[in-house]
Copies of this chain bind each other. A is one copy, B any other.
């Protein structure tokens, strides 16, 4: 009797256990969106990839496990979709940070800072994107796709811009880009994998690290 007619079933966030209102006809796709949101939130909250089980996601959305299969072929497919979303966010973060830079080298520095920052702010997502071994990743996650997904080529282009401007010592843009990727990945991954390590001040360590890299890139004087 207290059954009010809500305009959309997406209205309230389900804590778990409570039953979700069935979607109107033709609005079945709304569930897909909610499933993705729940999976993402579950990942963030628990900080544990294992916690994102079909059953847990279904429960968080307020639906039964088989319903997941109405929108995703299997668990891998769901995880893939979650990853894809996060790659998009990740890209926006890095590209956005580089946007207002005064020169190509400063742009590179900003890209690095944004990369590290994103990883530290979204450790579990970062873990899935860059610290998980391939066979555990969704199947269609090819290297090419990955490279394009996280805007690797934009990164190479940013390096090339520095080369063109003579701001860094000559070399192969691709190789230099990989060096820099390895470097920022290193400090990000280390923080994430060892949060309890007695780190000195984080931001200071990051800034000095970036300077170390920039000095390493500097043209022979």
Contact = CB atoms under 8 A, between A and B. Distances in A.
A196 B131 contact: no
A interface majority secondary structure = helix
A44 to B, nearest CB: 14
Contact of A182 (B178, B181, B190, B198): B190
Nearest to A221: B221
A181 B174 contact: no
A174 B189 contact: no
Contact of A189 (B47, B131, B147): B131
How many chain copies?
Answer: 2
A212 to B, nearest CB: 4
9 shortest interchain CB distances as A-B pairs = A186-B186, A216-B216, A182-B187, A212-B216, A182-B186, A215-B216, A185-B186, A143-B197, A143-B196
Given A143-B194, A216-B216, 15 more contacts: A127-B133, A133-B192, A134-B196, A144-B198, A146-B194, A179-B205, A179-B212, A182-B186, A182-B187, A183-B186, A212-B213, A212-B217, A214-B216, A215-B216, A216-B217
